[in-house]
Amino acid sequence: MSDGFVQVVCPGCGLLCDDIEVKVENGKIVSTLHTCARGEWILLNANSEFRLTSPLVKKNGQHVKVSFDEALDHAAEILSSAERPLLWGWSSTSVEAQRVGIRLAQLLGGVIDSTSSICHGSSILAGREAGFRTATLGEIKNRADLIIYWGSDPSHSHPRHLSRYTTIPRGIYTQMGYEQKQLVVIDVRKTRTGKVANQVLEIEPNKDYELISAMRMILKGENVKEKEVAGIPVKTLNQLIQTWKTQQFGVIFVGLGLSMSRGKYRNIEALYKLVQELNEYTRFVAIPMAGHFNMVGFNQVATWLAGQPFGLDLSKGSIYSNPGETTGAEIIMRDEFDAMLVVASDPISTMPLPIARKIAKKPLVVIDCLENPTVKNADVVFPAAITGVEAEGTAYRLDSVPIRLKKFLEPCNDCKPDDEILSLLLERIEKTS
Amino acid sequence: MPALNAFQVYKLLPQTNCGKCGEPNCMAFAVALLGGKKKVEDCPPLIEEAKYADKLKELQKIFAVSDEVESTGLVYHEEKCTGCGNCVMVCPEDVAASPLIAGGKGDVCDNVVFRVENGKAKIVNLEKCRRSGKEKTCRICEMFCGTGAIEIRMVGG
């Protein structure tokens, strides 16, 4: 790879910013332009001192450096001898790797689930019940004049959300930029995004469903008997709905505050219905704020290959999916797995302690680029090239637009792209079984 | 909306109301300090007495601004910045410099005030800032900075 400035797509979060410039010297990233702190951190992982450089196998409780071949043998043995392996992670890798992952799950007769089951999976379930009203971020930039963040704080999760796509940029029909746009933040606490918003509604925790229901009632012209709903005066709600109705194009960005608080997918189902009803007056859409850069990608791949967005149980020879039964966290909690393959995820540090303990007790194969608690507990570790830096691949932006990630550095030492490692593993398992 | 108020500054002063600085009391000195009429070094006990060394250090850190910055009153705390780029996309001078920036994308041009480099905003040309010219009322970057990294201090009233 040549030195100098390269135009890249940032694999930092679901926004996949495509205007990033990176300066490369001697095969290392020297500086980056236009990245947020989050993207910068992900890109600079390539230079990290915690990079995994060669395959590791645990022998007598110690990690020993081995050849790729030997590691593949060990991993194939662990996975093929398991009765119901769990294949977990997948949100921070390319669509190509996810495809191979589903084939691997089919071959092994295991369960494959992505982190979306503990993230925005509930938004997909809600979409199935109520229907999606969606738009691309480009359309939102050019047309939307009412931006609502509900239970999400992009200044933490997607730092460039406001400046690239929603409130600030000037679009074709929003030439005045922020002066023409309304920013409303609905959250249980004061957020950084709230600091720059035109209106902030601080609601009581776990009362989202009541609030949405009250809004739907007001929209239908019914009388809300209470004076306050979720800590918001009904008068304010009346005014709010009246202004929302008169806007040109409204968009609600749904965060984890809604999808993972009490009510879970019912909250979002109600919200989607509200959005649907608002469409009688004006154009309104709702978009879940996917955090990992390719979380939406796994849902897409799983849906086109298996018809279900996540939590695929392939152990019975047919496709079965029942969120709550075949999703990762629940399977681990009930001890219904006997080996685990983790790809581009760190469940031991992100999951609650009881789940993390159960993962650590089972045979564990990990494909990751950095050292982390899951890697420390793994029996076999494969060093992966960072997708979007040392490996190319396709990823889906949070509005389900596929974007091609570029490769601009050579992977260090023994690192290989995720899809290549998984294909090799698949071949090895096919050979041995 | 400055992130720092007079009371917070007052806490870092000796609080003896000695009057050596020329102000009637320490609170008045704190207000003058925030208003840019006084400097930290104008408080003699703070400099002379060793027991205030920590407070002096803290105050000097807060008020460490170059002469250039003082003309606009724009103070930038890099450690708070998340590189969201809000300041780049709202600054009227940046928007005028490049149509790409107006549309929300990053662009490399020299005649901008802000640019995001290495995950942090950076002030490239402070002399381009409207506050250094006639338009002293512009504080749009501060308004859109959610983290409080950009702060505009009213210098000289």
Contact A155/B104, CB-based, under 8 Å?
no
Contact B146/A155, CB-based, under 8 Å?
yes
Q: How far out from the chain centre does Cα B48 lie? A: 27
Give the pLDDT of residue B1: 34
Short-list B121, B133, B136, CA closest to B88: B121
Q: Nearest C-alpha of chain B: how many angstroms from A166?
A: 9
pLDDT in tens, A137-191: 999 999 999 999 999 999 999 999 999 999 999 999 999 999 999 999 999 999 9
Q: If you average pLDDT over residues B140-153, what whole number do you get?
A: 89
Contact B84/A160, CB-based, under 8 Å?
yes
Please name the helix (run of DSSP H) or strand (run of DSSP E) that holds residue A139, with its range, or none.
helix A137-143
- Highest mean pLDDT among A343-347, B64-68, B109-113 belongs to A343-347
Contact B116/A193, CB-based, under 8 Å?
no
Residue B157 has pLDDT above 60, yes or no: no
Low-confidence residues of chain A, pLDDT below 50? none
Q: Are strands A86-89 and A340-343 parallel, antiparallel or unpaired?
A: parallel
Contact B118/A171, CB-based, under 8 Å?
no
Chain B positions in Cβ-Cβ contact with residue A7 (cut-off 8 Å)? none
The answer, for B1 touching chain A at a CB cutoff of 8 Å, is: no
Give the pLDDT of residue B4: 65
Mean pLDDT of chain B: 82
Give the pLDDT of residue B126: 85
Best mutation site among B84, B89, B105, B138 for testing chain A: the one with the most A CBs within 10 Å?
A: B84
Neighbours of A143 (CB within 10 A): 16
Are the beta carbons of A205 and A267 closer than 8 angstroms? no
Q: If you average pLDDT over residues B116-137, what whole number do you get?
A: 83
Whole-model pTM: value is 0.85
Contact B86/A32, CB-based, under 8 Å?
no
**Both structure tokens of A226:** 């209470």
Report the percent of chain A where pLDDT is more than 70. Answer: 100
The answer, for B2 touching chain A at a CB cutoff of 8 Å, is: no
- Write the CB contacts of A74 (distance below 8 Å, at least 6 apart in sequence): A57, A66, A379, A380
Chain A positions in Cβ-Cβ contact with residue B118 (cut-off 8 Å)? 31-32, 35, 40
Nearest CA in chain B to A196: B144
**Both structure tokens of A36:** 């947020």
Chain B positions in Cβ-Cβ contact with residue A20 (cut-off 8 Å)? 106
Chain A positions in Cβ-Cβ contact with residue B147 (cut-off 8 Å)? 155, 192
Distance CA B115, CA A33 (A): 8
Angle of helix A265-278 versus helix A208-219 axis, rounded to 10? 20
Distance CA A424, CA A12 (A): 27
Contact A40/B104, CB-based, under 8 Å?
no
Give the pLDDT of residue A94: 95
The answer, for B104 touching chain A at a CB cutoff of 8 Å, is: yes
What are A's interface residues with B at a Cβ cutoff of 8 A?
Answer: 19-21, 31-41, 141, 155-156, 159-160, 162-165, 168-171, 177-178, 192-193, 195-196
Report how far apart the first and last C-alpha atoms of chain B are (Å, whole number).
14
Residue B127 has pLDDT above 90, yes or no: no
Q: Write phi, then psi, for A133 (nearest 5 degrees).
A: -120, 105
The answer, for B89 touching chain A at a CB cutoff of 8 Å, is: yes
Residue with tokens 């979002």: A268
Give the pLDDT of residue B66: 44
Q: Nearest C-alpha of chain B: how many angstroms from A96?
A: 28
Chain A positions in Cβ-Cβ contact with residue B86 (cut-off 8 Å)? 162-163, 168, 196
Give the pLDDT of residue A231: 93
Angle of helix A295-306 versus helix A95-108 axis, rounded to 10? 50
CA dihedral over A356, A357, A363, A368, signed as positive or negative: positive
Q: Are strands A380-383 and A56-59 parallel, antiparallel or unpaired?
A: antiparallel
Contact A36/B88, CB-based, under 8 Å?
no
* Predicted confidence band of residue B68 (pLDDT cuts 50, 70, 90): very low
pLDDT in tens, B18-64: 888 888 899 988 888 776 677 888 888 888 888 888 888 888 777 76
Mean pLDDT of chain A: 94
Report how far apart the first and last C-alpha atoms of chain A are (Å, whole number).
39
**Both structure tokens of A8:** 């890249």
Chain A positions in Cβ-Cβ contact with residue B144 (cut-off 8 Å)? 162, 168, 178, 196
Contact B145/A168, CB-based, under 8 Å?
no
Chain A positions in Cβ-Cβ contact with residue B146 (cut-off 8 Å)? 155, 192-193, 195-196
Q: If you average pLDDT over residues B130-137, what whole number do you get?
A: 71
Q: If you average pLDDT over residues B79-105, what whole number do you get?
A: 92
Q: Nearest C-alpha of chain B: how many angstroms from A198?
A: 11
